[in-house]
Chain A
Amino acid sequence: AQSVTQLGSHVSVSEGALVLLRCNYSSSVPPYLFWYVQYPNQGLQLLLKYTTGATLVKGINGFEAEFKKSETSFHLTKPSAHMSDAAEYFCAVSSNAGGTSYGKLTFGQGTILTVHP
C-alpha cells in the first residue's frame, strides 16, 4: 500500500520569502511522485512530477521539488513567494506496482499556503 504525509496543514509566508511544503511518502516499489495545486473553485492542476531520472524536478510557476529516496521525501520549494501562489497544494504518489499501470493517485491531506504582503 502507498501513503503520503504532508507535514503542516497550513503554511504562511511573506511575499518574497522562501516557500517550503513538506511531503513524505511510503511505497514498497519505486514511486512516481506529483504535486498538484488547487485554487478556489478550480480543478486540481499539475505543478510537477517525478517519474524516473533526474531527482530535481522543475515545474510551472517557479516551483521545484527534489526526490530523496533515502528520506522518502518529495518537498516542494519556491525561492520567492508571490501573492498568486496562495492556494492548497497536494502531494500524491502512484506506481506501476504489480504490473497494473493504471496511474491511480494516492493524495496527502493537503497544505494551504497563505502569502502575506
Chain B
Amino acid sequence: GAGVSQTPSNKVTEKGKYVELRCDPISGHTALYWYRQSLGQGPEFLIYFQGTGAADDSGLPNDRFFAVRPEGSVSTLKIQRTERGDSAVYLCASSLEAGPTYEQYFGPGTRLTVT
C-alpha cells in the first residue's frame, strides 16, 4: 500500500515569507509526528497528533511554527516569517496508534531552503 507522502519535496522561499508543508499519512494511522532534520544532525521532534488534536507540541521552536490536522488524516505544518535558520528537512511520520511499541513510518521529507 501507499506509504507516507510529503509535498512539496523541495521548497525554496525568501526570508520573511510564509510556507506550508503537507503530510499524507498511511490510511488508518491515528498518530502523526513531525520532525525536523538539520544538516548533519538527527531528526528532532516538533509536534505529534493523536487524531485531530495536537497531543504534544513541545518541540515547536517558537510561535512562528504551527501545525494542524483538521480531519485526523492530512496534516499541514505552517511556518510564518521564515528565517534562514528554518532551512532543514522536515519529516513526517505516522503510526497505527501512539506509543513506542507502534512503528513510525516516515515520509521522504520536504527540504526547505530559506534564502
Residues of A within 8 A of B (CB): 4, 9, 32, 36, 41-46, 49, 51, 90, 92, 94-96, 100-110
Contacts and interface: CB of A to CB of B under 8 A. Distances in A.
Interface of B: 3-4, 31, 33, 35, 40-45, 48, 50, 55-56, 59, 91, 93, 95, 98-109
- Majority SS at the chain A contact face: loop
Nearest to A49: B103
Contacts of A9: 40
Given A41-B108, A42-B108, A43-B4, A103 B100 contact: yes
B96 to A, nearest CB: 11
Contacts of B3: 43
Contacts of A41: 108
Given A43-B3, A107-B44, A102 B98 contact: yes
Nearest to B109: A43
A65 B31 CA distance: 27
